[in-house]
Amino acid sequence: MTNQLNQVLLHENNQVGSNLEAWLANGGGEGLQNALAAPEAIIKTIEDSNLRGMGGAGFPTYRKWQFVLAEKDAEVKYLICNGNEDEPGTFKDRLLLEKTPNQIIEGALITALATGVNHLILYINPHEEKAVEAARQAVAQWEAHPLFASVADSLGRPLTLRVFLSSGLYIGGEETAAISSVEGGFPFPKKKPPYPAQHGVHGQPTLINNVETLAHVTHIVKHGAEWYRNLGVGQASGTKIYSLSGDVLHPGVYELPMGTSLRDLVFEYGGGMLAGKEFKAVFTGGPSNTILTSEDLDVALDWDSVQERRSRLGTGAMIVISEGTGIVKRVTEYVDFFADSSCGQCPPCKIGTRQISKVLRKIDTGRGRRAELDHLVNLGKLLPGSGRCALVDGAVTVLNSSLDKFKSEYEAHLIDR
Amino acid sequence: MDHEPITIDVEGRSVTASPGRSIIEAVWEAGHVHVQGVGCLGGVCGSCRAIIRRADSTEVKMVLACETLIEAGMQVTFVPFLERLSDHPYQIDSFKDTWQLVSQVNQTFPEAAHCRHCGGCDSACPKGIKVERGVNLAVEGQLGAAGDIFETCIMCNLCSHICPEFIDPNHLGLLVRRVVPSLVVRPFNLMQRLNQLERGELYFDYEAPEASTEERD
Amino acid sequence: MTNGVPYETAWQNYQTGSSDPVQFDDSSKESLLKQFHPDYQTNTTTTLQIGANQGDVCQRQLAQVLQSNSLIDEVDLAGASIVDTDVLIIGGGGAGCAAALVATENDARVILTTKLRLGDCNTVMAEGGLQASVGVDDTPQQHFEDTLRAGYFKADRKLVSQMVMDGPDVVRWLIQLGMQFDQESEDPFASLSLKRAGGTSAPRILSFRDYTGLEMMRVLREAVTYRPGIEVWRSKPVVELLSNEFGHCAGAAVYDMRHRKLMLVRAHAVILATGGIGRMHLNAFPTSNHFGATGDGLVLAYRLGAKLRELDSFQYHPTGVSYPRHLAGSLVSEAARSAGATLLNGLGERFVDELQPRDVVAASIIRECEEGRGIDWDGQVGVWLDTPRLEQQRPGILQRFGSLRHLAHKCGHDPAEKPFLVYPTLHYQNGGVVIQRNGSTSVPGLFCAGEVTGGIHGRNRLMGNALLEIMSFGWRAGVAAAGLRHNAPHRRLTIEHVHKWQRELTLAGLPLDNHGPQLYPDYANFNLRAHIAGEI
Ligand SMILES: Cc1cc2nc3c(=O)[nH]c(=O)nc-3n(C[C@H](O)[C@H](O)[C@H](O)COP(=O)(O)OP(=O)(O)OC[C@H]3O[C@@H](n4cnc5c(N)ncnc54)[C@H](O)[C@@H]3O)c2cc1C
Ligand SMILES: Cc1cc2nc3c(=O)[nH]c(=O)nc-3n(C[C@H](O)[C@H](O)[C@H](O)COP(=O)(O)O)c2cc1C
Ligand code: SF4
Ligand code: SF4
């Protein structure tokens, strides 16, 4: 079973750091060659591969690309390679950037050929110093390489590639916040519409993709869509990087076939529960945290299967908790994280998340009543969609998911249960 | 006018009341206890702040529940008294040197200089005050202009709750309003009267004819 | 109230009517009051059967709560924690805040407990302003005489004289604390602007825009919050006073709404500053008062033995909003009438000289409505307050009234286009606890300040005197209460006065299951026992 681990993105041959020569020697660059040969075929290949965004939302990648491609008249288009990664439990992008920056850059260049973007920005969290350093070195090598010039020629427009340090704030990872940041301001999410694909950085069409998404692109274009699809288990396509943490023996980053079961991830790859504790639940990470329980252990960890359990795959973060861990307390911590991260533009977001946290704390400390629980349900219905960005929805999602799966635990805390 | 009862959702409770009721009246009419988060019932104390979403609307608004009428399907959650997240204590009589006023104000509210210009305070304010502008003017040292912006502030603290930099805008606004009279305003007629009183010049007659009942009849 | 002229008809009459001056017959003033003013109706009053005012006339609903049984009993005190302080202040309005600030200036430790939040009170709602004799053609003597005359010469002269002499000092103190007042120009040395209140001999009203109370309260609130030595408790109503072995006031039993438990505060001195009674809706009137104005202070003081006065005299402000219903009782400031706005009935006719004293104007409005000349708008009855014609006559005048425009906006109309529908609203408690010049009462250890007291306004209050009173007597009580801080601590902390009271209730054949103070208006559905038990 372990032979399915790290087959593609994290294959040891690919973990050559910023060394471009080593990357090319190990089979890198072939995807880009294919793309240069037939740029107009790329989007179809991506569509056939079923690749979806790895930054949390799971939006089909080719669709986003089509929107940006459609902006034919624009002289200048941007690509933001989103490596901001700052939420609890997700720690894959920093590793990819540090160990395999070349496949991300190659993916970005392929994206340029597919969509016509010509300013490529590696948007990286400054707290990840090693990732920043590796990316910088890789960029310098690519700029000097003939392949880079070939891409520019093919585009027929000036091509730039640079590292941009984000603010390091969680909100900076949101797509329009990243745009604000790149424009030189505080990472405030912007109102949508207009959408980035039409009106992004400095008003120009802008594509935002997670760095893992771009890494997949490199291999898809190299090996073809069918090869990629077959990597997945059952209906699922390709591989996924899972960030496993919490009460497991071996926390860490695991690239596995998309659709690997939760049980395998935790008990096979993760080495099982820490100190013989009993498995209770998993918080899936990303902008929208949801919960999977022991009843969901056999769920295939792919977009649709997880969704059927009214949860989300998110970024592939899996935070495992054992029996004895209080769900209400954990949810409070998450909601606090969202409340603190809220940028403040939208009153219902900042105040609503604080209020959820206040009511949760009341219940968690044994001062809550049925009315408080009803209140949480009400907040869960009232707040979604009230912000410019999805942050407030994220706080509500984790709340609703916990109410959905662990209502009885909430009730057990109530004074008037 | 339609007299069919209206049902709304208040913090998870279904509340049915007659049309034409404010949110607070509706909660009472439906028989619920609601005594915290009610203040003047006249729109000047800010204690009945609420977040509402109307049926079929994606817009979520901050309102005062004493002056917002119920509508079918409305969802309501009150914003209770939240502990303030930051604190900027000062004694007004510690502001003495007018030359140091601006820097002392800035030292008292150090976060004000970090305003991100997110505009959240402006959209939270139920009085339509240009809160962010007021904060920025205060930081620049335009204390009079800054204070004027906060003239109608009801100290509901919504802007303080929302501010991601913990500036406490309304408290800053109140400080800049307070320092001006405290240090600078010395009205002529008041000073004259106080001097007269100090010198004992005002004769007081308890038994003046105008002060007695007899005179009236 | 019978039905009046239907809205549509009345609106037509309004449009064709005029606000021409009319001659009013003044001779019938007394019979008008007798016939229509709520204070004068025999069915609205009764005689107190027990307590310090036994035999005195008292408004019926008020008598019922004054002669009520305590909300708590001995058993409730068991296990309650005891907190010590020098001065306990009950009530977070203007009077309570002034007392707290002054008490700490006099080295006392203060706990200020309030039913709602600090500043949720009547003070914050005051619009008109504050009387202080600072004008060049005015003297404290005139202020004294005007106050006595307005109160039908029933006020206590020594209280009034002290208050009017405090006036200028009060204003200085407020300015030093950082309160702004309207001045004649932008110049910081410019004289304070003065307005003349109805029935006074000189312009004497100081104000800040038309939200003087808001400006005052936000400054006081901030000063109190940040003043070391004052601990502010919110959502902690006092439910009973405590007495020592001599029957002196020794502290209070406070209900902690958040933790649903009682706490006892032992204090060298207690200052009651709980404000008025509007939310008792005496005689079924709407009110201009804040949510917490349920007369708690009167009940608490009376039960402990304090003497009260003028328990049958209340101010009904003539122009409270009548429509829409959810704003009923909200005040349209007297400034509108002072500026020349007239009152019109459903036939479009004027019926009173609008600048008469408040009781006369209020009684006239009630007469119009009872005799069927009011306007019936969807079940709400009232008369027109004609702001549109005022604006026509003096274009731009409404611009000066921010609160009025805001209220009209809430009512859903433009005051320059449509008149307000108004009806008298229960506004102020003229009487209250009998006090001396330093705020002390007939019960040692118990002080009172603000609207809860009586004697300053006689049977009718002059506009603007309440805001002065709360500052002046708040100070005085603060100083006197702080003066007791070196007394030996009370040895016993009891509710023995309650037991004595229960005996009196029983002997007088009064019900024991009628509990008070009310704490919150009935319609808010609160019940202390159920709340302690966690049932609500
Ligand atoms: C709409 C309106 C307009 C007015 N306009 C003017 C004006 O222009 N000029 C003027 O001079 N006067 C005016 N008045 C009158 C004046 O505002 C009040 O009489 C005065 O402010 C009362 O102050 P206070 O401190 O005594 O009481 P309040 O300010 O009412 O404060 C009483 C406090 O006690 C608290 N409390 C009550 N019961 C309890 C309890 N059991 N335990 C603990 N706390 C309790 C209350 O919650 C409140 O905080 C107006 C009044 C109203 C309602
Ligand atoms: C509050 C918030 C924070 C986010 N943070 C990140 C992040 O750190 N990295 C990331 O790739 N996407 C993040 N996203 C998702 C992005 O908005 C965007 O959907 C994503 O970068 C698109 O890339 P993809 O389609 O390749 O997934 C965040 C979204 C929200 C609402
Ligand atoms: S939803 Fe929250 S985080 Fe997003 S823009 Fe609005 S305030 Fe900022
Ligand atoms: S406290 Fe802030 S939000 Fe509230 S009225 Fe004042 S400025 Fe506006």
Q: Is A121 in the pocket of ligand 3 (CB under 6 A)?
A: no
CA of A139 to the centre of ligand 1 (A): 70
Q: Is B155 in the pocket of ligand 4 (CB under 6 A)?
A: yes
- The confidence score (pLDDT) of residue C19 equals 56
Beta bridge partners of A80: A121, A208
Give C113-139 as a 3 state SS string. Answer: ECCCCCCCCCHHHCCCCEECCCCCCCC
d(CA C37, CA C360): 8
CA of B9 to the centre of ligand 2 (A): 33
CA of A346 to the centre of ligand 3 (A): 5
Q: Do B82 and A350 touch (CB under 8 A)?
A: no
- Of the candidates C168, C179, C325, which has its C-beta nearest B193's C-beta? C168
Region A77-87: mean pLDDT is: 97
- Give the CA radius of gyration of chain C: 23
CA of A328 to the centre of ligand 3 (A): 24
Both A213 and A259 in a single domain? no
**pLDDT-based confidence at B215, cuts 50/70/90?**
very low
Segment A97-122, tens digit of pLDDT: 999 999 999 999 999 999 999 999 99
Structurally, how many domains does chain A consist of? Answer: 3
List chain A residues with CB under 8 Å of B158.
347, 351
What is the residue with the minimal CA distance to atom 5 of ligand 4? B153
Burial class (CB in 10 A: 0-12, 13-18, 19+), C75: exposed
Q: Is A388 in the pocket of ligand 3 (CB under 6 A)?
A: yes
Handedness of CA A65, A68, A70, A73 (dihedral sign): negative
- Give the CA radius of gyration of chain B: 24
d(CA A290, CA C479): 60
Token pair of A367 as six digits: 């001062």
Query: A300 lies in which domain range?
Result: 239-322
Segment B64-122, tens digit of pLDDT: 999 999 999 999 999 987 667 678 999 999 999 999 999 999 999 999 999 999 999 99
Q: Which residue has the tokens 């402000």?
A: C317
Contact A343, B118 (CB under 8 A): yes
d(CA B183, CA B175): 12
Region A241-259: mean pLDDT is: 97
Beta bridge partners of B6: B17
Q: For the domain that residue A364 is a member of, what is the CATH number?
A: 1.20.1440.230
* CA A147 to chain CA mean position, Å: 28
Segment A123-160, tens digit of pLDDT: 999 999 999 999 999 999 999 999 999 999 999 999 99
Ligand whose nearest atom lies closest to the CA of A352: 3
Long-range contacts made by residues C243-246, C-beta under 8 angstroms, separation at least 24?
C243/C304, C243/C494, C243/C495, C243/C496, C243/C497, C244/C445, C244/C490, C244/C491, C244/C492, C244/C493, C244/C494, C245/C491, C245/C492, C245/C494, C245/C496, C246/C444
Both A140 and A20 in a single domain? yes
Both A200 and A293 in a single domain? no
Both A179 and A312 in a single domain? no
Beta bridge partners of C113: C90, C233
Both A200 and A260 in a single domain? no
Q: For the domain that residue A287 is a member of, what is the CATH number?
A: 3.10.20.600
pTM for the model:
0.94
Ligand whose nearest atom lies closest to the CA of A286: 2
Among residues A288, A322, A356, the one where a domain terminates is A322
Q: Which residue has the tokens 């107190």?
A: C48
- SS3 for C344? strand
- Of the candidates B12, B51, B53, which has its C-beta nearest A351's C-beta? B51
Ligand 1 binding residues, C-beta < 6 A: C 90-96, 113-116, 120-123, 125-130, 213, 237-238, 273-276, 288-289, 292-293, 296, 331, 428, 450-452, 463-467, 470, 517, 519
Instruction: For each of the domains in chain B, give its residue range(s) and CATH number, in order of start.
Output: 6-78 (3.10.20.30), 92-183 (1.10.1060.10)
Region C298-314: mean pLDDT is: 98
Specify the ligand 3 atom closest to the Cα of A189.
5
How are the residues of chain A apportioned to helix, strand and coil, as percentages rounded to the nearest 5? 50, 15, 35
d(CA B173, CA B164): 17
Q: Which residue has the tokens 């690519």?
A: A142
List chain A residues with CB under 8 Å of C534.
369, 415-416
Which helix or strand (DSSP H or E) is residue A106 part of?
helix A101-115
What subunits touch chain A, counting only 3 or more CB pairs under 8 A? B, C
Residues 47-106 of A with CB under 8 A from B: none
Segment C34-51, tens digit of pLDDT: 999 999 998 999 999 999
Both A68 and A136 in a single domain? yes
- The confidence score (pLDDT) of residue B81 equals 74
CATH architecture under which domain C74-313+430-482 falls = 3-Layer(bba) Sandwich (3.50)
Segment C361-412, tens digit of pLDDT: 999 999 999 999 999 999 999 999 999 999 999 999 999 888 899 999 999 9
Can you give the residue ranges of every domain in chain C? 5-36+318-427, 74-313+430-482
List chain C residues with CB under 8 Å of B94.
none
Both A288 and A371 in a single domain? no
Q: Is A415 on the interface with C (CB under 8 A)?
A: yes
Q: Which of C303, C309, C358, C389 is catalytic?
A: C358
**pLDDT-based confidence at C23, cuts 50/70/90?**
low
Q: For the domain that residue A207 is a member of, what is the CATH number?
A: 3.40.50.11540
Assess whether pLDDT exceeds 50 at residue C336: yes
Q: Left if phi > 0, otherwise alpha if psi is -120 to 50, otherwise beta: which for B191?
A: alpha
CA of A351 to the centre of ligand 4 (A): 14
Among residues A322, A352, A372, the one where a domain terminates is A322
On whether residue A234 sits in a domain, the answer given is no
Contact C32, C362 (CB under 8 A): no
Q: Is A282 on the interface with B (CB under 8 A)?
A: no
Contact C114, C88 (CB under 8 A): no
Both A162 and A200 in a single domain? yes
Q: Is B64 in the pocket of ligand 4 (CB under 6 A)?
A: no
- Give the CA radius of gyration of chain A: 21
On whether residue A135 sits in a domain, the answer given is yes
Q: What CATH number labels C5-36+318-427?
A: 3.90.700.10
C221 tagged catalytic: no
Q: Do A374 and B53 touch (CB under 8 A)?
A: no
Report strand pairing: A239-246 vs A317-322: parallel
Min distance A97 CA to chain B CA atoms (Å): 30
**DSSP states of A25-71 as a string?**
HTTTTHHHHHHHH-GGGHHHHHHHHT-B-TTTT--BHHHHHHHHHH-
Both A374 and A263 in a single domain? no
Phi, psi of C270 (to 5 degrees): -120, 130
What is the residue with the minimal CA distance to atom 15 of ligand 1? C466
Q: Do B33 and C526 touch (CB under 8 A)?
A: yes
Both A307 and A197 in a single domain? no
Burial class (CB in 10 A: 0-12, 13-18, 19+), C365: buried
DSSP state, residue C57: E
Which helix or strand (DSSP H or E) is residue C499 part of?
helix C496-507
Among residues A229, A251, A275, the one where a domain terminates is A229
Both A157 and A104 in a single domain? yes
Both A35 and A173 in a single domain? yes
